[in-house]
Amino acid sequence: SQTIHQWPATLVQPVGSPLSLECTVEGTSNPNLYWYRQAAGRGLQLLFYSVGIGQISSEVPQNLSASRPQDRQFILSSKKLLLSDSGFYLCAWSVPPEGEGIQYFGAGTRLSVL
Amino acid sequence: SQQGEEDPQALSIQEGENATMNCSYKTSINNLQWYRQNSGRGLVHLILIRSNEREKHSGRLRVTLDTSKKSSSLLITASRAADTASYFCATDANNAGNMLTFGGGTRLMVKP
């Protein structure tokens, strides 16, 4: 069966420090991968998505970047964190086209930038 | 911007009552999905309704879709305290990457 791993669960980082969040998927090949950010009590904002290795599309211009070095690995990075980068970050995957766009989410990373 | 907008933003009911949440969207869609999120956790897919369907059932869940009004509703019957969570609608507009556009969510509290 397919599983998705996202870590760490919680992260506290100082302003100006770098960031690396990792997400890996098991049990499926060539998935679409997604990074979302969720502010407290709000909906999800799509940050990046990827349809294949090395293919990254950015939805929101910001202080973050994403990479997909392997088929089932998706990394969210920043060189210098801002206070506004605080939030709940979620990774998700889907299997096009037979999956009908249903997305499966990781447990999330709560990032606090202080 | 958020395509789906849920209504109400928050809902508090007693165990055993039914809970109805509504979602409106703006563009044409392939399908509409509902997800559940427990506090501090990832989202879990609940049910998908295609653009050519009007109603779908899954256990205690009933979803309707009105493409002429660009709206959907999620009904949870005989609610339980364990149904307490946030519920989100998401639309698939057949775009590149099968991106979903999520609404702001409805926070449901079911009191025992």
- Please tell me the distance from the alpha carbon of residue B37 to that of residue B21, in angstroms, as a whole number: 14
Identify which of A107, A48, A103, A45 has the alpha carbon closest to the alpha carbon of residue A75. Answer: A48
**pLDDT reading at B86 higher than 90:** yes
- Residues A106 and A74: beta-carbon distance below 8 Å: no
Q: Write the pLDDT tens digit of every residue in B15-60.
A: 999 999 999 999 899 999 999 999 999 999 999 999 999 999 999 9
Residues of B in contact with A31 (CB under 8 A): none
Predicted pLDDT of residue B4? 65
Average pLDDT of the segment spanning B106-110: 96
Considering only CB atoms, B97 lies closest to which of A32, A44, A105, namely: A32
**pLDDT reading at B3 higher than 80:** no
Q: Write the pLDDT tens digit of every residue in A97-109.
A: 777 889 999 999 9
**pLDDT reading at B80 higher than 60:** yes
Interchain CB contacts (distance < 8 Å): A and B: 67
Residues of A in contact with B5 (CB under 8 A): none
Q: Is A102 on the interface with B (CB under 8 A)?
A: yes
Q: Is A56 on the interface with B (CB under 8 A)?
A: no
Residues of A in contact with B96 (CB under 8 A): 51, 57
Average pLDDT of the segment spanning B105-112: 96
